[in-house]
Structure 1
Amino acid sequence: MRTKLLAAVVAAVTLSGCAVGGESADAGAAYPSKALSILAPGSPGGGWDTRARGLVNALSACKVADVDATVTNVPGAGGTIGLAQFAKHKGDPYQLMVMDSVTMLGGIVSNKSPVDLSELTPVAGLSRGPSAIVVPAKSPYKDLKSLLDAMEAKPRSVKWTGGSLGGPGQMTVAGLAKQRGVAAKEINFVPTAGGGESMNLLLSGAATAGIDTVAELRSQIEAGELRALSVDSEQRVPGLDAPTMKELGLGEEAVSTLAGVLAPAGLSKEQQQDVIALLDKVRKTSCWKKDLERNNWTEDWKPGEEFGKVLAEQRTQVTAILGELGLGK
């Protein structure tokens, strides 16, 4: 099954930087000396978009750099439409892209993308965020066990949604199915281009269950429109009455994804270090720390080649899982 390529939708928002000072008074280096362009290869309002705009806010509001920063959204095909455009900016350290490892790797494998993350310059892994398994408030399923019982009895009767084809949501569901003896290819999973589309499927009753980041689901859970059955984090998420998958004996089925930033291919070591140093300043600001707290993100700083190593390891993991789903290369 191939995900439908969506037309690129570009929505740019430019935020002007402030005078250098405040929390980063030492940010007087040559880089950045002109405007930065940050690509979010997903829809406005989604996780990648939220992270990109958080970076822009920290650069400006916490006075990390006296330059403009622009966020551009290019959604579709698990991020690979935006990835293909981004790859054209070889050697340009002023072009950056936010992403998360498993989602984009899943998009690359399932869509047979001609561009691979190994071709780009790893800047840094920044954070991990918990996901939740949810059902509509009127659903008869009150806990994860009853939902998985139904899937085990009649796999196609449970319609899942949550993210792109081959993304971490589908991979987690595949792991849960395998644990119950259900073949991955029997899963009824409806891929979407973003959180808004998944939410519509859930709230309309067109989907039985969904899996997405807590940041995207929290408002509907708190409003009583969705019921959280479990979260994939190590600890329970404050404010959510839901056990962890680990508590339920399902911790190994969760697929953890690392969110971070990439630069185009062709950067020198010095240019790579300049971008890493900029993000290091950003992550230490109160602006970014507030975003971490607001979105239930946990910092996981992995600069440069450490991030590249994670991407290479997860490339192997993702390829194997998607092979079981019939989506591998």
Structure 2
Amino acid sequence: MTPVPLVPVELAAMADADGLVRVADLRRYGVTAREIARWSASGVLKPLVRGWYSLAQDDDRSAWERRRHDHAQRTRALVLQLDGAAVASHHSALVMHGLPTYAADLRQVHLMRTQDDHSRRRPGLTLHRCVDGAGHDATSVEPAVAVVQAGLLGSAVSSLVAADAAVHRGLVTTDALDEALDLLRGPGSAGVRRILGHVDGKAESPGETRTRLALTLMGLTLESQYAVTDGDFLAVSDLRVAGTRLLVEFDGFVKYSRADPYRLERCPSDVLVTEKVREDRLRELGWVVLRIIWSELDDVAVLRRRVERALALADATAQTLVTLGTPSPVSGL
């Protein structure tokens, strides 16, 4: 990780709680343009939008997490710059609420005006017209509105990914989503409404949401967070194909290695070993486990073939268990 330059005390004192620094405050304090340029060149200050910088931060976030953080900082700066005339909307509001985005261009900040109906766009910023009745606080539209807006802006799937997470975390209800859909009725809203009919607050990741949607569109009936127990053994699978012995897991394909061999805390390789032991036990109990990765979600033909083979294997396994007279394990929560 690249070392972060030390932040001068006076800069830290003038930054707000989110680490934003306004140039006007620096100049009022007597900081010269040359000093600001030097701090920016050294990495102490990071330019966001005209008139605003953020302090350098030392963290171990992933590249994707840093992009989300940078987007949130630019969004905050633009909201402050417009001084109450606009709030974060669409995927920018999702980021502000800590909700996942899908297929979103984080180079572009989206804001909604709070009073007038004029919209405009320039590189880095889209200002949308005010939507009467859309709830918001000082910085962002409410989560349900942001969920629907995100789907109207790009892929409807982005609405479902965000909605699953928002319902899971208790930030929205299905009733709130219905109200937001009514509020934002217009071109594209029928598609967003249709896909939001598949909301499932049990989903625990965007990949799980996309997997469930893909299999549902293939005509399968699914049960989320399906639990299999056997004595003191408990395994909760992302999905079960109803009426079968097929369990489906989404695999985010994390790096299964230990970056520092001398660190003792749990790392991805430990997770891999645990998952293998868990799946071995499930197979011993007569379950078929199908793992799906990101790339397969974008290749429906490949995914369908794998699912069909897994279903055939699950059916054969069930027939074998019936022949052997093996009782089914207690399952389902």
TM superposition score category, shorter chain reference: under 0.3
TM-score normalised over the length of structure 2: 0.27
Taking CA–CA contacts closer than 8 Å with sequence separation of 6 or more, which of the two structures ends up with the larger relative contact order? 1
Larger radius of gyration: 2
